[in-house]
């Protein structure tokens, strides 16, 4: 074993990229769902409208995670 080698990266680096790409949508989903619940708690009469808008937002945020997954496969060397 060579003493100068500190770490060796083996495997597909795209998995690391997808892991980093999943952090943003994860944070976005947490904020989105938390704010929707907060809005429903403040005004229960608009719960249906807030819920529908939340699901549209969830779909857009999930697209970001899927784009990160696809980009990990596309940009492999």
> What's the pLDDT tens digit per position in 37-55?
999 999 999 999 999 999 9
Asked if residues 32 and 54 have their Cβ atoms less than 8 Å apart, the reply is yes
pTM of the complete model: 0.70
Distance CA 12, CA 6 (A): 19
Average pLDDT over residues 7-15: 64
Pinpoint the alpha helices (H) of 1-77: 14-42, 47-74
Neighbours of 74 (CB within 10 A): 8
Give me the architecture of the 25-74 domain, per CATH. Answer: Up-down Bundle (1.20)
Distance CA 49, CA 46 (A): 5
- Res 39: pLDDT: 96
Tokens read off for 18? 């997808």
> What's the pLDDT tens digit per position in 53-67?
999 999 998 898 888
Please determine, for residue 71, whether its predicted confidence score (pLDDT) is greater than 90. Answer: no
- Res 66: pLDDT: 86
């Amino acid at each position: 074993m060579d003493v100068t080698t500190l770490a060796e990266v083996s495997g597909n680096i795209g998995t690391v990229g997808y892991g980093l790409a999943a952090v943003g949508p994860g944070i976005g989903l947490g904020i989105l769902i938390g704010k929707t619940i907060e809005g429903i708690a403040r005004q229960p009469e608009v719960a249906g409208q807030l819920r529908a808008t939340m699901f549209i937002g969830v779909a857009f945020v999930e697209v970001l995670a899927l784009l990160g997954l696809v980009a990990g496969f596309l940009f492999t060397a």
